[in-house]
Amino acid sequence: MSNEHESIRWGIIGPGGIAHQFSQALAQTQGGELYAVASRNKARAEDFAQQYAAEISYGNYQEIVSDPSVDVIYIATPHSHHFQHAKACLDAGKHVLMEKPLTVTAQQTQTLVALSKEKGCVFQEALWSRYMPCFAKVKTWIDSGEIGELQYITSQIGFAFSHLRNHRLTLPELAGGAILDLGVYSTSISQYLIGSHPTKVQAMGMINKDGVDQNTLVNLRHPGNIHSQFTCTIGAQCSNAMTIHGKKGYILLPHCFWNGNSASLYKDERCVATENFPHPINGFEYQIASTMESIVDGRLCDPRMSHEDSIGVMKTLDEIRQQIGLAFPDNIESCD
């Protein structure tokens, strides 16, 4: 830690929409403080820094990376820029918590994981659900046989975002579309609950006139003949539920399953337990606390969202993109 009172000093790159939720949670989390904010626009950085009482603001991303007082950087830029921003941070010896999906390709994730090992810097994926108590509970129900032998997981994720124009979700040059922004939740959470990566991928998708996937439908086969299946969309309203089916019952994660608010256990057709998980702050506190634990404990990531898992998820997403014909400009897929 770089300051005398041993608090971990955070920086933010990309003070956009989600960075507000992060900052609200950090402000109420013990052991860390928002120290610096970096935007491509100095006035935007200053406004954000003022709002969350950060000490310093930068009008570019280079200066925050070279600030010796910054311990760890939360990267909240569009997917297209994750690789280059994380590489700059790790190269400079900064710990990193980076928004999902970790990168655009599996190869980019592998390159960053290798760099994190070389530099001894924490590198964590901010797939916030995986750090939540709700998913730990659901995994316990599955692993202890509450629903019998696991058969398959189904989920839907998406919203009717048809009004969006020139938004990162609609732009191939910012790696927009449903699969990377939303399908990553179904892919990652199913992988976590099943405990293995898929060995077979079948995907169909609709690429819209903007050149990003609007609707994508995916079937995955995992070892042990367990399946997972999901649809993701940026063009339709979904139930946004996940159901985990076993031979004796099922678990239902209702609306916005990735928020980890509640889970119900059904045996046969009867609900036998419902557990609610109100977040102490807004749900971001778990991944913030986990990243700080990693820093203090000297581990490179949290086992609940391991590097191997991030790479595996990216490999699945690569295959889905290849099958649905979703290509992005070469420069955002490269490892340079």
Ligand X SMILES: NC(=O)c1ccc[n+]([C@@H]2O[C@H](COP(=O)([O-])OP(=O)(O)OC[C@H]3O[C@@H](n4cnc5c(N)ncnc54)[C@H](OP(=O)(O)O)[C@@H]3O)[C@@H](O)[C@H]2O)c1
Q: Left (φ > 0), alpha (ψ -120 to 50) or beta: where does 38 sit? A: beta
CB of 223 to ligand X, least distance (A): 29
Q: Which stretch binds ligand X (CB under 6 A): 14-22, 105-113, 274-282, 323-331?
A: 14-22
Asked if residue 40 binds ligand X (CB under 6 A), the reply is yes
Asked if residue 212 binds ligand X (CB under 6 A), the reply is no
According to CB under 6 A, which one of 1, 24, 44, 69 is a site residue for ligand X? 44
DSSP helix/strand/coil, 168: helix
CB of 246 to ligand X, least distance (A): 28
Q: Which of residues 219-278 bind ligand X (CB under 6 A)?
A: none
DSSP helix/strand/coil, 11: strand
According to CB under 6 A, which one of 9, 79, 197, 321 is a site residue for ligand X? 79
Angle at 310 between CA 306 and CA 311, to 5 degrees: 115
List C-alpha distances in Å: 282 to 47, 78, 260, 287, 333.
Answer: 22, 21, 11, 11, 32
According to CB under 6 A, which one of 4, 5, 6, 17 is a site residue for ligand X? 17
Torsion angle of the four alpha carbons 281, 283, 289, 294, in this order, in degrees rounded to the nearest 10: -170
Residue (110 or 282) nearer to ligand X, CB: 282
124 token code pair: 């964590």
Q: Are 183 and 232 in contact (CB under 8 A)?
A: yes
Rounded CA-CA distance 57/278 in Å is 33
What is the contact mask toward ligand X in residues 84 to 103, using x (rule: CB under 6 A)? Answer: ---------------xx---
Q: Which stretch binds ligand X (CB under 6 A): 72-80, 191-199, 231-239, 243-251?
A: 72-80
Asked if residue 128 binds ligand X (CB under 6 A), the reply is yes
Q: Are 283 and 132 in contact (CB under 8 A)?
A: yes
According to CB under 6 A, which one of 12, 32, 33, 39 is a site residue for ligand X? 39
Asked if residue 185 binds ligand X (CB under 6 A), the reply is no
Rounded CA-CA distance 38/42 in Å is 8
Asked if residue 15 binds ligand X (CB under 6 A), the reply is yes
Find how far residue 22's CA is from the centre of its chain.
13
Give 307-328 as a DSSP string. HHHHHHHHHHHHHHHHHHT---
Asked if residue 300 binds ligand X (CB under 6 A), the reply is no
Residue (153 or 174) nearer to ligand X, CB: 174
Nearest to 283 by CA among 9, 35, 26: 26
Helix runs in the chain, H state only: 17-27, 42-51, 62-65, 82-91, 106-119, 133-143, 178, 184-194, 285-297, 307-324, 330-333
Residue (39 or 250) nearer to ligand X, CB: 39
What is the contact mask toward ligand X in residues 129 to 168, using x (rule: CB under 6 A)? Answer: ---------------------------------------x
Residue (9 or 81) nearer to ligand X, CB: 81
Asked if residue 68 binds ligand X (CB under 6 A), the reply is no
CB of 1 to ligand X, least distance (A): 26
The site for ligand X (CB under 6 A) is made up of: 14-18, 39-41, 44, 76-79, 81, 99-100, 128, 168, 174, 181
